[in-house]
Each structure stands twice: as structure tokens, then as C-alpha cells.
Amino acid sequence: MRELREVFFVDGVRTPFGKAGPKGQFWRTRADDMAVKAVRELLRRNPAIPPERIGDVVLAATAQVGDQGLTLGRDVALLAGIPHTVPGFAVDRMCAGALTAVTAAAGEIALGAADIALAGGVEHMGHHPMGDDVDFNPRFASERLIDESAAVMGRTAENLHDLFPAITRERADAFALTSQQRASAAWANGVMRETVVPLAVFTDDGWKVAERDEFLRADTSLDGLAALKPAFRAGGRVTAGNSAGLTDGATAAFLAAEETVGELGLAPKLRLVGYAYAGVEPHLMGLGPVPATKSVLDQAGISLDDVDLFELNEPFAVQVLTWCDELGISADDPRLNPYGGAIACGHPLAATGVRLIAQLAYGLRERGGRYGLTALCIGMGMGAAILWENVQ
């Protein structure tokens, strides 16, 4: 019987995340070029990995059209100078794009189809707003297969507030403030220097260096958050302040087999312990990480108390608070998003997963601990969770 191989996360990087739209720093930058920059920096930082040894390049995008269409893994690999003998492909699982790229690549390594793989994601939400070029099948509505709100993520967040009235606007705003404060501290303390790749971009004002996330708001206050109007429903609780901003960005990571780590003398950061994807009602998509988290912990035979660090995506504060309440984790637990999250830095859909993993690796090294969890919710009613072991 074939034995599966252990898979390790070697390194991961991301671009700064820019505001989507004409005023954002990446408006005049192609999506695939953002991904190329992340890949090239990953190659530069890991000279012990010969590019020709990469077995596959897996890149995700939610809107697979225009400058992030075609077969991203292959196209970006060629543009980044990786030899033509290295194959590549694209995946889409909306917000879990990069996480799915990682688990798909890990499967290749575990089965021996590749020794090293490159995985990541890109999303240029300025060039490709959510829902553009999408033709929803009319049967979804006519046959009432899903609630109509399932197609608008902000409305699904309001649905969570309805379902869990104990999660108030005030709690959501308080969590958003903490995210901004922690992210600002992380930037000030140099935490992001290890994982964020600056890049030269052309703007209306000429060339500049993009080196910081554009949604950071160090001056955020509870009074300021409370003054914001609901974004998706009159009298609602979801605002621009307690949600992740629409952003552009790219990520890339190296995964390797245990034998290859030893052969090349690599210094991996994390061992992949297990992963799970789960489905929930589409109009309650924010619940997705709850069953996914429970599933991956069951696989590993451990409890939440055994996990030393959580990197949970923050598309909406209510989604994180739902996860906390359902699993019995305090929203101010020091293990949860210690460097802030998407409310502060943004959520460029298919790119986010590798940001979570890279921050988790940094946090486990600096703070200590054995196990870490990366998790997020996924549009149309899904959730993802990956459990990692610290090997630094």
C-alpha cells in the first residue's frame, strides 16, 4: 500500500493590499503582474529551491477573466521566468482560492506526483468587481434553491446578525477596532516586513513603490465606527468599518515533501496536519468555518484548547464573532488574529489564504506553540480550515 508523504510549508509572501478602484495603488497594474512579483520574490528568498525542481504551480482567482484569466498557474510561471518544463493550473473556490491551491498542491506532494509546489492566489477587485461577468442560473431563484441574499456577501453577514441577535453592532464595531489597532501595531513593530513584498507600480502620478496596505486606519475609534451608515440594509449592522475593504493583491508560497526538505537543506516553517472544507446554507455562508474547524480538529484528534494560534479571515466582524460564539472562543482571546486581519488590511478574495498561513507561521515562531489553525468562510455557503504544526 502506498504511503503518503508529509507536506511542509516552506515560505510565503504577499504583496501589499491596495484599494480596489481608480484611486487604488494597483489600478494601473495587471493582476497577473502582481502575482508575478509575489512569485519572483518567493524565488529570490528561497535560492536553495531550483526552479526546475518545482513540480506544479497552482494559482487561484475568483474572477477568472481578463488579466487574471487563462490558466494562471501556467501563465504566471512563464512570466516569472520559471522553466517551461514546469506545469501549472488555476483553481477557484472564491475566498478559499489560495487555501485550495495549497491543499491541491499538498495532495500532489503527498502522493509523490511532485516534490515541491508553488501555490497562491491573486485578485484584482478593481479590475474585476464581485459579480461582474457572472450569469447566475435563474433556477436558483425560480426553484428557490437558495435565498436571493446568498449572492451578496454583505447581505449574508446581515443574515448572521439576524440569526444571532447577541452579536450586536456594538460588538462588531469593537472587534473591528481591535483588528485595526493590532494591524497598526504589527506594521509599526516590523511584523509585516517578513511577509509583505514591496513593488514598483505605475500610477497617475508616475512610478511609486507600493509597500503598505491601503486600508490601514490607525486613527480608527469606536465613535467613528458608530457614525458609519449601514452598507447593505437600512437599519442594518454591517458597515464599511466592520467589514473588509475591496482590495487588490497577490500571494505565493512554497510547499515541499519531507524528503525534499532534507535533500535541499530547507528550513520549513509548518507541517500540514489536516484540512477540511464544509458546506452550509448559502445565505449563511459566514457559518462555514465552524463545521470546517470541528472537522479538522476531529481528524487530528485534538481540541481547540490544543491550538495555540488562530488566523481567521475577517470579511465581516459578525462572521468572526459567530465562529467565536459557536466554538466557545472569546473575541479578545490573544490567540486570535494577534496581528489584525482583513478588516484592517483588506480581503482580495482568492489571495487571502496564503496571507493567513504566512502570518500564522510568523506568529507561531515569535509567540511559541505547537498547533495553529487557518480558517475562512467561502461564498455560496462553504468554509475551510487547515491545521498546521509549528516546526520552527
Active-site hit among 95, 124, 127, 324: 95
**Cell for 245?**
475593504
CB distance 335 to 364 below 8 Å: no
Q: How far is CA 243 from CA 33, 80, 318, 345, 369, in A?
A: 27, 33, 9, 11, 29
What is the C-alpha separation between 83 and 138, in angstroms, rounded?
44
**In the annotation, is 345 catalytic?**
no
What is the C-alpha separation between 277 and 207, in angstroms, rounded?
42
Conformational region of residue 94, where left means phi above 0, alpha means psi within -120 to 50, and beta covers everything else: left
Q: Is the dihedral of CA 346, 351, 353, 356 positive or negative?
A: negative
Q: What are the φ/ψ torsions at residue 135 (nearest 5 degrees)?
A: -115, 90
CA 250 remoteness from chain centre: 10
> What DSSP state is assigned to residue 190?
T
**In the annotation, is 377 catalytic?**
yes
What is the C-alpha separation between 35 and 76, in angstroms, rounded?
7
> What DSSP state is assigned to residue 369?
-
Strands 18-19 and 247-257: antiparallel
CB distance 248 to 30 below 8 Å: no
Planar angle of CA 63, 67, 69, nearest 5 degrees: 50
Q: Where are the beta strands (DSSP E) in the chain?
A: 7-14, 18-19, 54-60, 88-91, 116-124, 199-203, 206-210, 247-257, 270-279, 307-312, 371-378, 382-390
CB distance 41 to 250 below 8 Å: no
**In the annotation, is 84 catalytic?**
no
One DSSP character per residue, 286-321 reads GGTHHHHHHHHHHHHT--GGGEEEEEE--SBHHHHH
Q: How far is CA 46 from CA 28, 104, 265, 279, 356, in A?
A: 29, 21, 11, 36, 20
Active-site hit among 124, 128, 283, 347: 347
Active-site hit among 127, 161, 345, 377: 377
CA-closest candidate to residue 246, choices 4, 18, 55: 18
Which residues are marked as active site?
95, 347, 377
